[in-house]
Structure 1
């Protein structure tokens, strides 16, 4: 990892500057820092990576417009849903494979090749119309489009001092959420002004641009040449090594059930709003409120949150997330949706930056770091994939039980995180 900033370190024979060690006894370069100081201390490669992640998220349109595109060219909703399911299944495989590929070939190589091949697969979606090739290509596009995520998180962890990783994770999420807010608007404009084929081509160009930026701007990690005395190290880490870390498995279980609950805002919440007779604009306002709070509040609040126990913040955030979603089922007026959105978003803001940083800090060896990060991404993606089916089925047959489920999952996730998360030593 990059060494912490040496700003304020005394030279030989010179007295230490008075602000090197704050009153609480923590050295200045190890104390929690705000986003500006964190970004100043990061190397250029990490800053480029953060911008690249935001740019790539802004240009990711496939999952948003695939169903509309397919139904527009004559396929039934069921057929379009099958292709989208293939895309989601590919995403799960991609995040899982990325952990091993990153450990074997390096994060930079995985990002470059996954984004390069993803651009080809995404462009192919605009040229193919037969259902079987569409299903195959969408699965490949989903896998390649998600392979970069664990690799990018691993690279960010390698470039960031451990004591700055939570704030760097929050900065990465800021870029992702900003891209997620702007991307759909750009995609809608492209689809209305041109066509869905142009949407996919632009998506492909952005992925290609990300690959080119990483190739040209981020240098390869230095590798030691093998000698007779120091032979080349082999990547012997495996996903099965995680099975011995039972506390991390509890963390992964908590992450999976949190994702199952969280995805209900996309799949089941619009049905709840519609069933109660409220306009669709209320659902749009709830989602917009969540996005706005995350974009404008998460970074400054993380400056304070990172001072607390990571175990406590992750557990409390997961609990608030589940309870906030559970509030949507209470039989009150439209204001309950606003209250629920605020509580749910507060839980996301409190827990997400620490969750993003935790696998890299929890990995017992650098060789296992990419597997720990890949396992987190896989569990999240799997929860987001199966959650809509569970939630919509409950909504159809048991009504408000889906929101009781969300609150219950929040409690379970809180207990799992309390038992599973260790407070890492980052000094």
Structure 2
């Protein structure tokens, strides 16, 4: 009697150090470039303060910032199409160059209508590189290592997100917001130059390495011809659409931590420092724990990690609505962060693994980024409205969204069959 073939869930994933050591130089350079770019991204953090300092009302400043958010959604969607048509390297270079120009223009444009246009452009070009970067990483990384590589990318992003605000505050205090934006523009320009000078012009798709998924022929559309790949090719992949729906509602819930949570802390009579501590707990745990823990998490089926993580994220956020002392906020932050740690690396890798052909990777990745951006943009509006008119209903909503996301992910995520 022969032993059954080993499933991917039972295989021992490579460790973090081995994975990074065996990545091609282009992938390492790209990961470092992404981290550098995130560290120097200041516009979303300081734009509203800059605009009110120019004399605009909070409502007018918020209107300009909303154009930045809309541009971010459009940029992620367009980035997927542009990557499939022109290639990831080209899209990264041009999006960062154009983003650098748009952010630089923010330092000299003062009239409202031009500010709306420049803000939209900064948001769009600033996010267009994301599907391209993830597509390039998928092309450069063996499928078995993609989840760990995704976690390494998130490590760089989170480290940059932790350092960036401190650097931005120092620049604003020591110089001005114009200097803050110029540094942002120079960082984008540097990222473009790194990709142009260090990463080779050709990073071909490795079709032989591309995984398939169980029962794929019955569950997903046939690969589109190379010259006709479109976002509409996703519409026949109903399970991936469930995954996207789960990501959208998860993003709506997750957005509450930076929009509604500070209001909840304030309404309970706690100092603002408590909110800062909660955000710090989230950032510190993700930076310190996620990457080392990812090889262990990979031992479980991807469907399980993605669904369970989304559920824990919603449940953790819902704890903020319970009428207990400050400790409930800390517990909620830990549970919410645990959900993020469990699910996020797999979520980052899944679109490239789910695409039925390499030519569709950028569309699958772009669709994920667009749904996340839309959820993060819409979430604050929904959450703050519920908080104002129905009180604690916003935290009940988070729990419900966590359950819905869990069900959607359980039904939508295929288990990749890796070579």
Q: TM-score, normalised by structure 2?
A: 0.93
Find the partner of 2:272 among 276, 280, 285.
280
Instruction: Measure the CA separation in 2 of the matches of 1:264 and 1:161.
Output: 35
Find the partner of 2:126 among 128, 145, 167.
145
Helix, strand or coil for the counterpart of 1:75?
A: coil
* 1:12 alignment partner in structure 2: none
Instruction: Measure the CA separation in 2 of the matches of 1:304 and 1:222.
Output: 30
Find the partner of 1:238 among 223, 230, 237.
230
Helix, strand or coil for the counterpart of 2:417?
A: coil
Runs (4+) of structure 1 exceeding 2 A deviation are 24-27
* 2:110 alignment partner in structure 1: 129
Note the residue ranges of structure 1 that are not aligned, 5 or more in a row.
Answer: 1-23, 225-232
Q: 1:171-186 alignment to 2 at 5 Å? A: 171-186=152-167
Find the partner of 2:94 among 110, 113, 131.
113
Which of 1 and 2 has higher RCO (CA within 8 Å, sep 6+)? Answer: 2
Helix, strand or coil for the counterpart of 1:235?
A: helix
* 1:5 alignment partner in structure 2: none
TM-superposed CA distance for 1:234, in Å, is 4.7
The answer to whether the Cα contact below 8 Å between 1:103 and 1:235 also exists between their aligned partners in 2 is no
Instruction: Measure the CA separation in 1 of the matches of 2:227 and 2:167.
Output: 42
Helix, strand or coil for the counterpart of 2:416?
A: coil
* 1:83 alignment partner in structure 2: 64
Instruction: Measure the CA separation in 2 of the matches of 1:40 and 1:271.
Output: 44
Find the partner of 1:48 among 26, 29, 38.
29
* 2:315 alignment partner in structure 1: 323
Find the partner of 2:258 among 255, 261, 266.
266
Helix, strand or coil for the counterpart of 1:244?
A: coil
TM-superposed CA distance for 1:235, in Å, is 2.7
TM-superposed CA distance for 1:34, in Å, is 1.4
* 1:301 alignment partner in structure 2: 293
Q: Does 1:391 align with 2:383?
A: yes
Helix, strand or coil for the counterpart of 1:36?
A: helix
TM-superposed CA distance for 1:222, in Å, is 5.7
Q: 1:407-422 alignment to 2 at 5 Å? A: 407-422=399-414
Q: Does 1:380 align with 2:350?
A: no
Instruction: Measure the CA separation in 1 of the matches of 2:385 and 2:203.
Output: 51
Note the residue ranges of structure 2 that are not aligned, 5 or more in a row.
Answer: 206-224
Rg larger in structure = 1
The answer to whether the Cα contact below 8 Å between 2:26 and 2:198 also exists between their aligned partners in 1 is yes
* 1:67 alignment partner in structure 2: 48
Find the partner of 2:195 among 197, 211, 214.
214
Q: Does 1:365 align with 2:346?
A: no
Question: Once the two structures are superposed, what CA deviation does each residue of 1:123-149 show, in whole Å capped at 9, x if it has no partner?
Answer: 000111001000110001100000000
Instruction: Measure the CA separation in 2 of the matches of 1:409 and 1:346.
Output: 17
Q: Does 1:200 align with 2:181?
A: yes
TM-superposed CA distance for 1:300, in Å, is 1.2
Question: Once the two structures are superposed, what CA deviation does each residue of 1:245-300 show, in whole Å capped at 9, x if it has no partner?
Answer: 00000000000000000010000000000000000000000000000000000011
The answer to whether the Cα contact below 8 Å between 1:31 and 1:163 also exists between their aligned partners in 2 is no
The answer to whether the Cα contact below 8 Å between 2:136 and 2:203 also exists between their aligned partners in 1 is no
Question: Once the two structures are superposed, what CA deviation does each residue of 1:402-421 show, in whole Å capped at 9, x if it has no partner?
Answer: 00000100000000000000
Instruction: Measure the CA separation in 1 of the matches of 2:290 and 2:397.
Output: 26
Q: Does 1:311 align with 2:303?
A: yes
Q: Does 1:252 align with 2:244?
A: yes
Helix, strand or coil for the counterpart of 2:196?
A: helix
Helix, strand or coil for the counterpart of 1:33?
A: coil
* 2:79 alignment partner in structure 1: 98
* 1:10 alignment partner in structure 2: none
Instruction: Measure the CA separation in 2 of the matches of 1:147 and 1:307.
Output: 33
Structure that is richer in helix per residue:
2
TM-superposed CA distance for 1:25, in Å, is 5.9
Instruction: Measure the CA separation in 2 of the matches of 1:407 and 1:353.
Output: 22
Question: Once the two structures are superposed, what CA deviation does each residue of 1:26-74 show, in whole Å capped at 9, x if it has no partner?
Answer: 89xx740111010011000000000000000000000100000000110
1:222–1:387 Cα change, 3 Å: closer
Q: TM-score, normalised by structure 1?
A: 0.91
Instruction: Measure the CA separation in 2 of the matches of 1:262 and 1:26.
Output: 33
